[in-house]
A and B are shown apart, each in its own frame.
Chain A
Amino acid sequence: MPTSSSSSSSFSSAASSSGNRQADVFSRLASSDPEVKLKALREVKNQIIGNRTKKLSFLKLGAVPAIASALSDSECNSILVQSAAALGSFACGFEAGVQAVLDAGVFPLLLRLLTSSDEKVVDAGARSLRMIFQSNQAPKYDFLQEKNMKFLFSLLNSENENVSGLGASIIAHACGTTVQQQVLCDAGVLEKLVILLDGSLSQREACLESLATVLKNNPEAVSRFVGLEAGRYLSSVTELTKDRYPRTRLLSCLCLVVIYNTSPSYFLNMGTKSSLVTTLLELLNDHGQSGDDAALGLSSLIAEKEDLQKLAYEANAIKNIVDILKTGSELHPKRLQGLFLSLAELCSKLEDCRCSFLSLEMLDLLVNALRHKNADVRTAACICFRNAARSVKNLSAGRFTNDHVMLPLVQLLHDPSSSVEVAVLGALSNIVLDFSSPKSTFIEYGGIKQLIELSKSMDPNARCSALRALRNLMFLADNKRKELFYSEVKAQGFVSLISDPEPTVQEQALALLRNLVDGCINSIEFVFDEDGLILDTVGKQLRKSPQAHMAIQGMYVLTNVASGTELHKEAVMQQLFPQPQAESNNFMLKFLQSHESQLRSATVWTIINLISPSSPGAHDRHVKLRDEGIIPQLKNMVNDACLDVKIRIRTVLSQSMSFGDN
């Protein structure tokens, strides 16, 4: 029993007397006298409803198993009703309660109540089961079993609104896979659910929730739904977005978002799109759970859709969201995540949005979010940073590269959550592209070392993102920065990166290398370190028939090396045509015939640099290229479909002609 030693006597007696009272009512639960038991059950129920603190303390006393036995042992309807209601309350929005209730074996007991002749017993059972199904811990309902499907439909067909609502709730929370969606649709669940749309408030809401689950990412199910009575129900759901009850408006919006994301063709009407955006924006102001869900719903709606982002921007979304974030009251993590993701989506493509957002003194709030205890919030804040930093204007104004912003971002490189890691790497990738200051706060904070660490992470996403950030960091970098970086990696390190098992990681590593050797001639020397280890590895990878994206970066590495001295050009030739060659493994020819225009272009560039007339060995290299069939191949490509390639080929051929060959 908790008693505080430092508070006044009346307070400590309050705590101990409440504890006493609870223990007293708890002992009466076990009474053999049904009257006493009933009274105790009612008392517990009335104490815990709405009162999370009491739920916890009764839970600790072991009230749940005690009430469960009352439920299983009794035949008296009043006792059944009260115990079911009490158990339902334990499970209402309280995860520890749901767990305790399930552990006590209450689930089958509640199911039994559904067949009672007493309406109140049925109501109590259905309500409590619905509470359980709101939680992720609810037992997985196997729709694929015939008897389960039958039972589900018997629920949906019931006249009792709590029971039919339970049926819809089960679907809303248990239906996850496409197979389940298919099985439900084939059994006619859509036809049953839409009837609930015309029912009571709770039936409508349960219906909307379950519809969203059944239709999500399933174009067949969506077309089936829209086809019902020639689109009548789609109109009904659209109408409900203007309903008086905020939760109904929210759930119908979320349903429409699901349909839009699955099959956008049903939303050709601009008006519907626009009102969907504005309704969700309004719902953001709701203080309860509806507001939380609205934020996530909005981000899901506008994701990747520039036209909707514009609509939202014009409807003043940025200012509205920022105002909510600035209210200072503690917002639910789900809401914060949704709001930051929405801002991130708004800033993803539209420069106006980014400028507007950054002009609203948001950076402090965003920086605070980086330190939020919830990983999803931190991730969302990072994504927001990443997209906002796409604004070159604001980036070069140094908005992101001051200590205030940089330090917390760099600290997140050590974050335990992998999603945060990847997200912050994305943000840093963009931020390090700031050319306005020669000094880099990021590097001062030991950023390079950390990125190199992460490039060795177990998670391929993290490796890829870290390399992308490094690649950007080396873009047009000065020698000092390049030396600093290289000294941490060395030749062997690079070889490991380029030989990574994941092709996407290899690609980023080569792109990084490309940037490293770009620029002044000294930079090219990196690939010759340790007897040309890095250059050899690049050549080896190119000879292995790599994917196009990787090959592009590899060829650009060779292009950059070939822009150097005579020695450099010869070294490239060595890689292109190593001796002895067992068979004609001429990857250059293969690349020139690739479908990817960028690969063709990169290969031609290498050739341009190899035979640029100003260098002494150009003529001999030209002969070799001709003999290997490269020049003839280029002659066949004079009308290449890609303009860039065509122009480069003309350059080569004119160089070729200057050697006096046809």
Chain B
Amino acid sequence: MATSKKVITRDEWEKKLNAVKLRKEDMNTLVMNFLVTEGFVEAADKFQRESGTKQIDLATITDRMAVKKAVQNGNVEDAIEKVNDLNPEILDTNPELFFHLQQQRLIELIRQGKTEEALEFAQEELAPRGEENQAFLQELEKTVALLVFEDASNCPVKDLLDISHRLKTASEVNAAILTSQSHEKDPKLPSLLKMLIWAQNQLDEKAVYPHINDLSTGQLETLSE
């Protein structure tokens, strides 16, 4: 029951694309939004000078990036101090984030092999989080399980020791700071690209036309059917 799809040639397609009007300012804003949200301070600065696109105070990006970097490097205590200097309300009003930061601190202590200190920390800092909020108990148990195994890097919960967990925590802090500064936590560019792919998938059901398959180049490729 194949209904014949409409076929659009490369020429026709390119004509259609060229007919769409985009403002340069909008594109610049998109790029700037990406650079700022992801924290590329120097690039944002340079871009601003070259394109004249407005952006926010660079100092706040710098502060935010310092926090993110600290977590990525495993210096969680330092990160916490920096967040509190930036805005003491963030951790006071975000129990989940605070728990994850404490959790990351414990993971770092275990990674460094400081078992005694880790035990002490677990009892003094993490256990109360579980008491204050039952929702954290499950994750707490998982984390404390790391202490039980002789070789933590080979136990069932070894994923917690993975560097990716640091990145996850770093990203969470970044998002919280952005929210507190009333910025969007996600840059718009990736969402637009996702929409592009979705739109192509939708159109695939109705037509044959040149796709963009490689997002990094944006090259149009004709499908041979």
Residue positions of A touching B, CB distance < 8 A: 10-11, 13-15, 17-18, 42, 45-46, 49-54, 85, 88-89, 92-93, 124, 127, 200-202, 244-245, 287, 329-330
Contacts and interface: CB of A to CB of B under 8 A. Distances in A.
Contacts of A244: 184
A328 to B, nearest CB: 10
Contacts of B98: 49-51
The DSSP consensus for interface residues of chain B is helix
The DSSP consensus for interface residues of chain A is helix
Interface of B: 80-81, 84, 88-89, 91-95, 98, 116, 119-120, 123-125, 128, 131-132, 134-135, 179-182, 184
Nearest to A54: B128
A287 B182 contact: no
B28 to A, nearest CB: 23
Contacts of B181: 200
Contacts of A46: 80-81, 84
A89 B89 CA distance: 8
Most chain B Cβ neighbours within 10 Å, of A14, A85, A244 = A14
Nearest to B80: A46
Given A92-B92, A200-B182, A202-B182, A53 B132 contact: yes
Contacts of A245: 179
A333 to B, nearest CB: 14
A200 B119 CA distance: 42
A52 B99 CA distance: 12
Contacts of B89: 88, 92, 127
Contacts of B125: 51
A552 to B, nearest CB: 54
30 contacts: A10-B120, A11-B123, A14-B123, A17-B120, A18-B120, A42-B81, A45-B88, A46-B84, A49-B88, A49-B98, A50-B91, A50-B92, A51-B125, A51-B128, A52-B128, A52-B132, A53-B128, A53-B131, A89-B88, A89-B92, A92-B89, A92-B93, A124-B88, A127-B89, A200-B182, A202-B180, A245-B179, A329-B134, A329-B135, A330-B134
In the complex, the 10 A-B pairs of residues with the closest C-beta atoms, listed nearest first = A50-B98, A53-B128, A201-B182, A50-B91, A200-B182, A14-B120, A92-B92, A85-B88, A18-B124, A14-B123
Given A50-B95, A52-B128, A10 B116 contact: yes
A127 B128 contact: no
A241 B91 CA distance: 26
B137 to A, nearest CB: 10
Nearest to B98: A50
A18 B128 CA distance: 13
A287 B134 CA distance: 12
Contacts of B120: 10, 13-14, 17-18
A17 B119 CA distance: 13
A14 B182 contact: no
